[in-house]
Amino acid sequence: MDKMTKLNRSFSLYLSLVLIVLCIGAFTITSKAADSYWDSNTIPSTRQKDLLYDDAELLSASEQEDLTKRLNEVSNRWDCTIAILTVDTPINSIQDFADDYFDYNGMGADHNGNGILLVLNMDDRSYWFSTSGTAISAFTDYGLSKMFDKMSSDLGDNYYHDAFVTYTEVCDDYLEMYSKGTPYDVGVKQPKDVVKGLLLSFLAALLVALVPIFVMASHLKSVTAKHSAKGYQAHDGLHMRVHRDTYLRSHVTKTEIPRDNDRSGGFSGGSSTHMSSSGSTHGGGGGHF
Amino acid sequence: MEFDPVSQKLKCPFCDSVFDVKDYVANHNSNSQGQVVEDGSDTQQGSEPLYVYSCGSCGGEILATESLGSMKCPFCSNNVVVKEVFTGTFKPDCIIPFKHTREEAIDNYKKHVKSKKLVPKFFLDQNHIDEIKAVYVPFWLFNATVDYDAHYECTKSRTWSDSRYNYHETKYYEVQRTGSENFENVPVDGSREMPDDLMESLEPFDFRELVPFNMGYLAGFLANKYNVSVDESKPRAVARIKSSVPADFRNTVSGYSTVHTLMEHMDFTKESYKYALYPVYVLNTTWNGENYLFAMNGQSGKFVGNLPFSMAEAVKRYIPIALILWFVFFVIYYAMF
């Protein structure tokens, strides 16, 4: 009996050790450390990575080709790098990660440090826009949040190619507006909004105009049957013989008052900036999809 | 001799002399004194025959004290065919005489139609308006006493809170109401030709102005003889009373947040009825293959009648409204976004 338990114990110890080693191995194989995405913590003079780096493998080869073409087009047109990075790894701060990726891979090198990078992290479904140079002013906080709104349903439905196409198109629009001196911000309207406005108000007018018509039509009917004998009650009214209200019992329930978390929202305009680890200034914004 | 609604007396249209209705009857009765009238009614004079006009199309029977020649049926606009001397009994208990003149009826009709924006222009055409007829419509008036007994479960609620909790207190009560309610003169129309909902829409008729029936009131007017019996009419009065009684008793239960009826019981006692004539101006029109019947309460002047919907008129108004709203909404959108 003693010999058996001793053997069992050492065997199970050995087994658990093997399992631990395997787990660590599997873990290291499937996820990369955050800083493996750049070679060193210095800002290079040329761009080190492609405009589109789909490390999380969300896109097919043809989709990647199409997107890369679009990214190149818009970047060259406005002298501002438009880039996309997808990863699937646990990251502490996606903001720092995005800024560092941009700086340490020289993503802005082609266009005087101007650029915007969209990072998608499938590990926790978080995203971040990192801006640099003139892109900080072209992509305001409000503008970035509106851009995400346009992409959110596609991202939620896993239509990544469509979402990224929207990204390139909106970047194109925003840079155009910036070049004209009015970057998209709270209170600034895109020309597309006017068309949308005309359409919405037209539909609303069609619906609401029906209301007075229905009101006028209802006036056409003046014949209604009378369902009660109201007005025919005798003047002496009700003769009440028993009028009794009896108290039975009472019942008290109490519920705890829930604590509310304050959520601040609303944009006041402009672009907020911060300094990244490399010392460069970055703007941007993000959240979860 | 015609009954004049303005003076409420019988007026001779030629010499303007005026008679009280009661005197009119007395004078004529003296002629037939001693003569046994077969139907035994003392309000029907032997020397003043009553004519009945029957409509072959809708079956309506109209009575008149004078021979009117050919006439259109007030209910369906078809020509009335047969005219006979009326030999049956015509003995209403009471009557509300006409208070509004025919001119007032025409005026009210025009006002009623003009105020409705979506009516086809046809309804303002003069030749139809001329066919307004003054008709006494037969009604059964019901009196009843209803015994009622109900039990309710009621609650009173109160909420308050302190820094940590919200409190909600509910108090429960058992409430009882037992008693009786009297109803008088609940009207049910006794004419098959007059739609019940149209007649009910003309309410109220002020039954305090009911007077004992006298043939004199009919002079110059038409009367419709009843063709719906008391027994057929009673259920409608009962239904209306049955819906009023619980509501009236429920109104005496007050001060509670919720009231729920647990049990109720209704009993009809002391029922009686009267046969009355109520004054109604009637106009009917055909448009687009459909018959439209309008009515005015001859006592109060209230005018009712469903009018048809004209798509042309509706579109004429819809377009400018929609255009203005479009402009307004766009301005709001532009200012906000």
Q: CA-nearest residue of chain B to A200? A: B330
pLDDT at B216: 80
**Residue A168: pLDDT over 80:** yes
pLDDT at B45: 44
Signed CA dihedral, B177, B180, B184, B189: sign only: positive
pLDDT at B298: 92
A247 chain-B contacts, CB cut-off 8 A: 171-173
Q: pLDDT tens digits for B237-277?
A: 999 999 999 999 999 999 999 999 999 999 999 899 999 99
Run of H or E including A116: strand A115-121
**Residue B29: pLDDT over 50:** no
pLDDT at B115: 82
**Residue B163: pLDDT over 90:** no
CA distance A8 to chain B (A): 57
When divided into structural domains, chain B yields a total of 1
Q: Report CB contact under 8 Å: A227, B326.
A: no
CB pairs under 8 A between A and B: 192
Q: How far is CA A194 from CA A146, A174, B334, in A?
A: 16, 16, 8
Considering only CA atoms, which of A285, A250, A254 is closest in space to residue A267? Answer: A285
End-to-end CA distance of chain A: 59
CA distance A190 to chain B (A): 10
B321 chain-A contacts, CB cut-off 8 A: 209, 212-213
pLDDT band at B81 (very low <50, low <70, confident <90, very high): low
pLDDT at B127: 57
CA distance A70 to chain B (A): 30
Per-residue exposure over B157-167, b if at least 16 CB sit within 10 Å of its own CB, e if not:
eeeeeeeeeee
Q: Which of residues 160-199 of A touch B (CB under 8 A)?
A: 189, 193-194, 197-198
Determine the Cα angle at A41 with ends A120 and A125, to 5°. 15
pLDDT at A104: 92
pLDDT band at B142 (very low <50, low <70, confident <90, very high): very high
Q: Are B291 and B77 in contact (CB under 8 A)?
A: yes
Least confident of A145-154, B27-36, B145-154, B160-169: B27-36
Q: Report CB contact under 8 Å: A216, B186.
A: no
A197 chain-B contacts, CB cut-off 8 A: 330, 333-334, 337
Q: CA-nearest residue of chain A to B333? A: A197
The type of residue at A79 is: D
Q: Are A144 and A284 in contact (CB under 8 A)?
A: yes
Residue B252 lies in a domain: no
Q: Report CB contact under 8 Å: B318, A213.
A: yes
pLDDT at A153: 92
Name, of A40-49, A261-270, B53-62, the range with top average pLDDT. Answer: A40-49
pTM summary value:
0.61
Q: pLDDT tens digits for A31-58?
A: 566 668 888 888 888 988 999 999 999 9
Q: Report CB contact under 8 Å: B334, A197.
A: yes
Q: pLDDT tens digits for B87-115?
A: 677 788 999 999 988 888 888 888 888 88
**A214/A224 Cα distance (integer angstroms):** 18
Q: Tell me which residue in A226, A236, A245 faces B182 most closely, judged by beta carbons.
A: A236
Q: Report CB contact under 8 Å: A234, B168.
A: no
**Residue B171: pLDDT over 70:** yes
Least confident of A124-133, B17-26, B226-235, B263-272: B17-26
The 10 Å Cβ neighbour count of residue B76 is 17
**Residue A264: pLDDT over 80:** no
The 10 Å Cβ neighbour count of residue A130 is 31
pLDDT at A189: 66
Q: pLDDT tens digits for B192-214?
A: 888 899 999 999 999 899 999 88
**Domain that includes residue B281, residue range:** 2-140+184-232+274-306
The type of residue at A238 is: L
pLDDT at B239: 94
SS3 B34: coil
Please state the φ and ψ torsions of residue B271, each to the nearest 5 degrees: -100, 140
Q: Report CB contact under 8 Å: B116, A244.
A: no
Determine the Cα angle at A280 with ends A278 and A284, to 5°. 110
Q: Report CB contact under 8 Å: B179, A241.
A: yes
The size of chain A, in residues, is: 289
CA distance B53 to chain A (A): 28
The CATH number given to A52-189+271-288 is 3.10.310.50
Q: Are A75 and A111 in contact (CB under 8 A)?
A: yes
Contacts of residue A248, defined as CB under 8 A and 6 or more positions apart, other chains included, come to B172, B173, B174
Extended strands (E) in chain B: 2-4, 9-11, 18-19, 51-54, 61-64, 82-85, 94-95, 133-161, 165-189, 211-212, 222-224, 258-287, 290-297, 303-304
Residue B177 lies in a domain: no
Q: Report CB contact under 8 Å: A254, B166.
A: yes
Interface test with A, best of B111, B158, B182, B269 (most A CBs within 10 A): B182
Interface test with B, best of A198, A224, A238, A241 (most B CBs within 10 A): A238
Percent of chain B clearing pLDDT 90 (strictly above): 39
Q: Report CB contact under 8 Å: B173, A245.
A: yes
Q: Report CB contact under 8 Å: B317, A213.
A: yes
Residue B256 lies in a domain: no
What is the 3-class SS of A48-91, one letter each residue?
A: CCCCEEECCCCCCHHHHHHHHHHHHHHHHHHCCEEEEEEECCCC
Considering only CA atoms, which of A287, A289, A230, A286 is closest in space to residue A117? Answer: A286
Q: Are B43 and B25 in contact (CB under 8 A)?
A: yes
Q: CA-nearest residue of chain A to B317? A: A213
pLDDT at B188: 94
Considering only CA atoms, which of B21, B3, B1 is closest in space to residue B12? Answer: B1
pLDDT at B128: 65
B149 chain-A contacts, CB cut-off 8 A: 242
Mean pLDDT of chain B: 82
pLDDT at A178: 92
ipTM: 0.72
Domain boundaries, chain A: 52-189+271-288
Name the token pair of B102.
Answer: 């025919």
Q: pLDDT tens digits for A183-240?
A: 888 877 666 677 788 888 889 899 999 998 888 888 888 888 888 888 898 888 789 9
Q: Tell me which residue in A201, A238, A252 faces B179 most closely, judged by beta carbons.
A: A238
